[in-house]
Amino acid sequence: MTADELLKLHIPNKRIELVEGVAMVREPAGYVHGRVTMNLTARLVLYLQGRPAPSGQLIAAATGFTLAKGPDTVRSPDIAYIRPDRVPHPETPGFPELAPDLVVDVLSPEDRPREIQQRAGQWLVAGTQVVWVVDPRRQATHVYRSDGTEEFIGTDGSLHGEDILPGFECRLEAIM
């Protein structure tokens, strides 16, 4: 399947991504996933509203990004941020062919460690600089960076925007 074919595919009440040409169909996210995602999104919105314009683009969950072509891979993070100089034209059709600068993946109970590693790796290979994998069950976050470094943050720790969102800080306990 291609990214263009994925755009036309509709399976009610399911989340669909494309991984190397294969459609991956998943159940919708549950309450905890949605709550944690919205809590973090709200903090990111407030941070960006306090920045001078242009401040980049925060992207909502379920927005697909084409990370590879032939075979196509289209992933949709729970939250994505794109720096101002990389924001696609507002009328860009379909899935933008770019990797966001920051990707947030809030885990669902059915996520498996191998899948999580694969998703994070695909984002980083495609050009994402930082991936936050938020685990509500463990109340922790694993940070993956494009330079190959990783960091585990427990519930008493904080997420930092690093070079992508300078000055952004959010305690994990505030979003869980």
Residues 8-27: pLDDT tens digits? 998 988 889 999 999 999 88
> How many whole angstroms separate alpha carbon 66 and alpha carbon 73?
6
pTM of the shown model: 0.95
Domain ranges of the chain: 29-174
- On average, the pLDDT of the chain sits at 95
Residue 109: what pLDDT?
84
107-122 residue pLDDT tens: 988 888 888 999 999 9
> How many whole angstroms separate alpha carbon 12 and alpha carbon 31?
18
Whether the predicted pLDDT of 96 surpasses 90: yes
CB 72 within 8 A of CB 1: yes
Residue 67: what pLDDT?
97
> How many whole angstroms separate alpha carbon 82 and alpha carbon 80?
7
Second-level CATH architecture of 29-174: Alpha-Beta Complex (3.90)
CB 43 within 8 A of CB 174: yes
